[in-house]
Amino acid sequence: MSITKAQLRWVKSLAKKSARVESGRFFAEGAQSLRVLVGNQRWIETVYLTDEFAWKNQELTAKLAPEAVEVVSEEEVERMADANTPQGVIAICKLPSFEPRILGTPAIFLEHVSDPGNLGTIIRTVDASGAGTVLIGSGSVDVFSPKVVRSSAGSIFNVEIIQNVSSIEALGELRNLGYKVYAADMEGASVHDAELESKHAWVFGNEAHGLSEETLAAVDQRFSIPIFGKAESLNLSVAAGVALYHSAFAQRG
């Protein structure tokens, strides 16, 4: 059965936060997101895909519940998609109703992160490096926006994420759970000389303005990432990747 124009408009509307909040749904695009989703099917409501995608990805689509799959045309996928070059599949997902927990080390707190590409890439790096929960500060970009979901390459479905927390709330809860809190800050000592506690959290700030003075005053230590060339600074997601892998190597000896 063909998708209706009303359904097309509704899926497209999920690019807006207000529609996601109202419906309790968001969408994930592309084959990589679907590969992760087949192992986390509690998220899935409906998967819209083209005949061509189904044919090229038979092993993958065979793992989906048949009642969740709807075949649509390439044009219909393009009308629903946020990506400029959609890959023939869009999954409608339920916003999580389960309560996320702070666990694992390092935990991450992101204060006022505004770039969706950065947020998605950091979540992907958290997943790859084996880090713990990501806490996202109030005023940051919505983690379920299409660009964040796409940039995470499916990792958003693997990582514990807590949104809309204040700096005071996040740092207080981390301390209550026994985490040492480290800030990524250009004025700190080199991260390469850091002796990290076994249970710790990294705090990263806004792309343009860094961390607030209030947050910097509340952390246990500040560490910087040395710049050996002529660049003034590192991109936020790259800096986070360096810190997260420093933690990963320290934990694994």
The vertex-115 CA angle with 27 and 40, nearest 5°, equals 30
pTM: 0.94
Domains of the chain listed by start with CATH number: 5-94 (3.30.1330.30), 107-251 (3.40.1280.10)
DSSP letters of the chain? -PPPHHHHHHHHHTTSHHHHHHHTEEEEESHHHHHHHTT-GGGEEEEEE-HHHHHHTHHHHTTS-GGGEEE--HHHHHHH-SSSS--SEEEEEEPP-S-----SSSEEEE-S---HHHHHHHHHHHHHHT---EEEETTSPPTTSHHHHHHTTTGGGTS-EEEEE-HHHHHHHHHHTT-EEEEEEEEEEEGGG----SSEEEEE-BTTTBS-HHHHHHSSEEEE----SS-S---HHHHHHHHHHHHHHHHT-
Digit-by-digit pLDDT tens for the chain (253 residues) are 568 999 999 999 999 999 999 999 999 999 999 999 999 899 999 999 999 999 999 999 999 999 999 999 999 999 999 998 889 999 999 998 877 899 999 999 999 999 999 999 999 999 999 999 999 999 999 999 999 999 999 999 999 999 999 999 999 999 999 999 999 898 888 888 888 989 999 999 988 888 999 999 999 999 999 999 999 888 999 999 999 999 999 887 6
